[in-house]
């Protein structure tokens, strides 16, 4: 009777251990895949910035429109853009042309999507831009240096990451002449 | 022949339980916690159950204690490799970054396996 009991316990123990071994390895594999997908997404996650419009809207005001294009072929982890703020500089980084932000937003990100950005340049920053345009005989290039705060939804919670965003763009000469 | 058979049995038991405990413990490590399909409490329960299954399979408390130590060693190696391989670009230059997770994992494997083995032995009527 005792031998039967021991045998039953041993079978139960062996089955339980085999099940636990399988389960833990499957869970670890799923976890590592999710982790690798996240790291891969983070490495490739970047915004490409393109100026779409530059328009003078007043005597000391100009409006700039950009498209921030998410350059990820496939987004394996659900992600939301919460905030994008940026600074404008002259191409060499010497002249600072102001700080701009989208403020708090909640944009559901998908692969290869475009997000419109807008900034109004005025006052002393506009004057600095004017000086830059007058000093340069050819096209004036500006530097867009920003940070995107992106929320990633993971299986056991949420993670916020700051993604650096850099772009160099030129002001169209016909618009620059109007300033 | 019986000694060899016993050695193989205990060796396989340690290997299977160590890998299961290490893999379960990796699920609650700081690196993987948010990526795991199960919460950390389930990971601890899995380690405890691994100890319990070992408790049903070992013969005597002394063998149980020895097995628990060996399971901890194998589990810690498994845990270390799981975190190390997933972060090889970082850990190859700074392995100390994962040592806290490995240290905590080793401690939890040891104590939970030990508790599980004791419960298994008690249920076995010892």
The reply to whether residue B36 touches residue A18, judged by beta carbons under 8 angstroms, is no
With residue B77 as reference, give the H or E element that holds it: helix B61-86
> Can you tell me the mean pLDDT for B42-57?
95
- Using the Cα atoms of residue A29, residue A30, residue A33 and residue A35 in order, give the sign of their dihedral: negative
Count Cα neighbours of B120 within 13 Å in the Cβ-side half-sphere: 32
pLDDT of A30 over the 70 cut: yes
Q: Does B101 touch chain A if contact means CB atoms closer than 8 Å?
A: no
Distance from CA of A73 to the nearest CA of B (A): 22
From chain A, pick out residues whose CB is under 8 angstroms from the CB of B26: 28, 31
Residue B90 binned pLDDT confidence (cut-offs 50, 70, 90) = confident
B90 or A144: which carries more pLDDT confidence? A144
Instruction: Quote the pTM value.
Output: 0.80
A9 or B42: which carries more pLDDT confidence? B42
Q: Does A26 touch chain B if contact means CB atoms closer than 8 Å?
A: no
Task: Give the pLDDT of residue B5.
Answer: 86
Residue A89, beta-bridge partner list: A96, A143
Task: Give the pLDDT of residue B102.
Answer: 93
Distance from CA of A27 to the nearest CA of B (A): 7
The reply to whether residue B36 touches residue A31, judged by beta carbons under 8 angstroms, is yes
| Rounded Cα distance, A179 and A59, in Å | 8
What number is the ipTM of this complex? Answer: 0.93
For the stretch B21-44, pLDDT in tens is 999 999 999 889 899 999 999 999
pLDDT of A5 over the 60 cut: no
Q: Does B38 touch chain A if contact means CB atoms closer than 8 Å?
A: yes
- Fill in the DSSP letter of residue A123: H
- Fill in the DSSP letter of residue A152: E
Letter string b/e over residues B103-115, b meaning 16 or more CB atoms within 10 A of that residue's CB: eebbebbbebbbb
A74 or A131: which carries more pLDDT confidence? A131
Strand, helix or coil at A59? coil
DSSP β-ladder status, A47-58 and A61-70: antiparallel
pLDDT of A172 over the 80 cut: no
Check: CB of residue B52 under 8 Å from CB of residue A16.
yes
The reply to whether residue B53 touches residue A20, judged by beta carbons under 8 angstroms, is yes
Query: Chains A and B: how many Cβ contacts under 8 Å?
Result: 97
| Rounded Cα distance, B59 and B31, in Å | 37
Residue A179 binned pLDDT confidence (cut-offs 50, 70, 90) = low
The reply to whether residue B20 touches residue A17, judged by beta carbons under 8 angstroms, is yes
How far CA A43 is from CA of A38, A46, A75, A108, B89, in Å, comes to 9, 8, 12, 19, 13
Tell me the average pLDDT of chain B: 91
The reply to whether residue B86 touches residue A156, judged by beta carbons under 8 angstroms, is no
With residue B106 as reference, give the H or E element that holds it: helix B99-123
Give chain A's count of helices (H) and strands (E).
Answer: 3, 8
> Can you tell me the mean pLDDT for A157-175?
84
> Can you tell me the mean pLDDT for A75-93?
90
Task: Give the pLDDT of residue A1.
Answer: 46
């Amino acid at each position: 009777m005792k031998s039967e009991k021991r045998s039953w316990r041993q079978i139960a123990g062996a089955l339980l251990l085999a099940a636990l071994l399988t389960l833990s390895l499957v869970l670890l594999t799923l976890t590592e895949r999710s982790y690798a997908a996240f790291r891969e997404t983070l490495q490739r996650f970047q915004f490409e910035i393109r100026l779409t419009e530059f328009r003078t809207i007043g005597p000391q005001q100009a409006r700039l429109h950009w498209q921030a294009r998410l350059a990820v072929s496939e987004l394996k982890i659900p992600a939301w853009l919460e905030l994008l703020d940026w600074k404008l500089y002259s191409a060499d980084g010497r002249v600072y042309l102001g700080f701009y932000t989208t403020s708090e937003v909640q944009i559901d990100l998908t692969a290869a999507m475009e997000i419109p950005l807008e900034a109004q340049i005025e006052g002393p920053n506009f004057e600095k831009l004017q000086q830059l345009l007058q000093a340069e005989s050819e096209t004036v290039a500006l530097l867009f240096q920003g940070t995107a705060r992106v929320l990633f939804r993971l299986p056991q919670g949420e993670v916020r990451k700051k993604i650096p965003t850099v772009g160099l763009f030129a002001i169209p000469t016909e618009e620059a002449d109007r300033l | 022949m019986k000694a060899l058979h016993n050695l193989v049995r205990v060796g396989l038991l340690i290997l299977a339980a160590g890998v299961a405990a290490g893999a379960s413990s990796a699920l609650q490590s700081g690196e993987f916690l948010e990526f795991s399909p199960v919460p950390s409490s389930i990971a601890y329960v899995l380690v405890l159950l691994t100890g319990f299954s070992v408790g049903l399979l070992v013969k005597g408390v002394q063998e149980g204690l020895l097995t628990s130590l060996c399971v901890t060693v194998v589990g810690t190696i498994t845990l270390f490799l799981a975190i190390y391989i997933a972060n090889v670009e970082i850990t190859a230059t700074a392995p100390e970054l994962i040592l806290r997770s490995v240290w905590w994992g080793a401690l939890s494997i040891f104590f939970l396996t030990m508790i599980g083995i004791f419960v298994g032995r008690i249920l076995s009527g010892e």
